[in-house]
Amino acid sequence: MSLGVLNNISALYAENNLNQTQSSLQNVLTQLSSGSRINSGADDAAGLSLANGLQANSAALTQSSTNASEGVGLLQVADGALSQVTSLLNRAVTLATEASNGTLNSSQDAAANQEYQSILSEINNIGSTTTYNSKQVFTGAAAGVSIYTGDSSSSGSSIDNLYFAPLTSSSVGDAGGTVQQSSSGQFVDLSKDTSGALTTAATQGDAISGALKFTITNADGTTSTITTTATTVSGLIQEINKDGIPGVTASFTTAGAVGLASGTVNAGDTGILLTNTNSSVAIAEGATAVTDTPTTIASTLATSTKGVATIDYVAASGGDTTANLSTTDLSSSADAQNALSALNGAISDVAAQRGYIGAQINTLNAVANVETTQQENVTSAENSVMATDYASATSQMSKYEILSQTGISALAQANSMQQLVTKLLQ
């Protein structure tokens, strides 16, 4: 190599290597000080994306465990109230048995009946005043109280709809129903397809026209209809979820996510998934199909088996069994004997209702345990992606510190080499 002073190539090489070493050393020091291997997207874009997704899963699972625990608290409040009702009914049985004996006179019958009527009034009071978080518990609402758990994805979510039958002296206990789990539903496709390809995907902010119709078959055989009136996609979802249609929930998703793909429905099509776990509810398009007005996108109701997994209480065909004590009294021996028969039925119905509540307590406790375990594993996975490996990082720090020192020495040597040219000019 010729000797010259125009460009100090050796110094440039040394400088570039020293800059790279300093950058690597700075990155290692950042990892050591933050405890995180990935501190920006430049460190590991794919790893950062994975870790952020796992962090969202972990946050959702942590709250889901809390949601399940809150559901258990609600169920325990209801169970405690029904336990008191059982105690009252047992006292009523004692009174009715006593009044059934013909040895009592009318004054004594009246005294027993007075206490009996007080017991019925207290049952009414328990039914109306038992609350959880300032909300009445024994409402008899068909939609129930939805306990949501999941990892923030539709496929990893579930809903347990807790049903609390009304509690009054005319409706004591609840028996005959069953618990049903389902993830079936219908997908309302709001995307436009042309020649088998997705042209326009609807968004939640799009305006819509038309309506969906929900026909509900009641326990007595009559039907009632709910027709939606929302004018936006998000508004329609909110309206369906707020209407309290038994067993029906709505969410915005894609056809691919719910397992649909055909000649008319593409995996990328967006729309509304209607999860329906109630065989008594039929879903159809209203007078006019739901359409996304900016692009005149016609909706398509398609059956899906990947809705949010939902557990629902399904009433017995013809209605559940419940006891009516409001017409009973202990005014006479005959009346007391009739009351005894009704009381036995009431105790049985309350026991059945407590059995359902107890089963749901066990279910939600199991869900909370699963969510907690899953959250631990997800956090562990996220930690393995994000956490700094201190053994490796400290080794790297030592390496780059030595390279920094040798780089500086090399740069000094490269600069001093240029001075040799002056010897030739002497």
In a domain, 221, yes or no: yes
Indicate the number of domains in the chain.
Answer: 1
**Percent of the chain predicted with pLDDT > 90:** 31
Q: What is the DSSP string of 15-39?
A: HHHHHHHHHHHHHHHHHHHHSBS--
Q: How many CB atoms lie within 10 A of CB 137?
A: 21
Q: What is the DSSP string of 173-225?
A: EEES-EEEEE--EEEEE--EEETTEEEE---TT-BEES-EEEEEE-TTS-EEE
In a domain, 224, yes or no: yes
Read off the pLDDT band of 411 (50, 70, 90).
confident
Q: Which helix (H) or strand (E) holds 248?
A: strand 248-254
293: left (phi over 0), alpha (psi -120 to 50) or beta: alpha
The packing angle between helices 333-386 and 106-129, to 10°, is 20
* Strand 157-162 relative to strand 309-314, pairing: parallel
In a domain, 188, yes or no: yes
300: pLDDT strictly greater than 60 = no
In a domain, 376, yes or no: no
In a domain, 359, yes or no: no
* 268's tokens: 């990328």
- CA-CA distance, 292 to 300, in Å (whole number)? 12
Lowest mean pLDDT among 1-10, 68-77, 313-322, 393-402: 1-10
Burial of 334 (0-12, 13-18, 19+ CB in 10 A): exposed
DSSP 210: S
Residue 133 amino acid letter: N
In a domain, 8, yes or no: no
- CA-CA distance, 316 to 339, in Å (whole number)? 25
Rg from Cα positions in the chain: 35
Predicted confidence at residue 296, as pLDDT, reads 44
Query: Do 293 and 209 contact (CB within 8 A), yes or no?
Result: yes
- CA-CA distance, 75 to 358, in Å (whole number)? 8
319: pLDDT strictly greater than 90 = no
Predicted confidence at residue 225, as pLDDT, reads 86
In a domain, 236, yes or no: yes
The pTM for the full model equals 0.69
The position carrying tokens 């819509």 is: 208
In a domain, 346, yes or no: no
- CA-CA distance, 61 to 59, in Å (whole number)? 6
pLDDT tens-digit readout, 101-112? 888 888 888 899
Predicted confidence at residue 34, as pLDDT, reads 82
233: pLDDT strictly greater than 90 = no
230: pLDDT strictly greater than 50 = yes
pLDDT tens-digit readout, 137-175? 999 887 788 888 888 776 677 888 899 999 999 999 999
Query: Do 239 and 213 contact (CB within 8 A), yes or no?
Result: no
* 207's tokens: 């305006």
Q: Summarize the confidence of residues 403-412 as an average pLDDT.
A: 85
14: pLDDT strictly greater than 60 = yes
Structural domain of residue 232, as residue ranges? 184-307
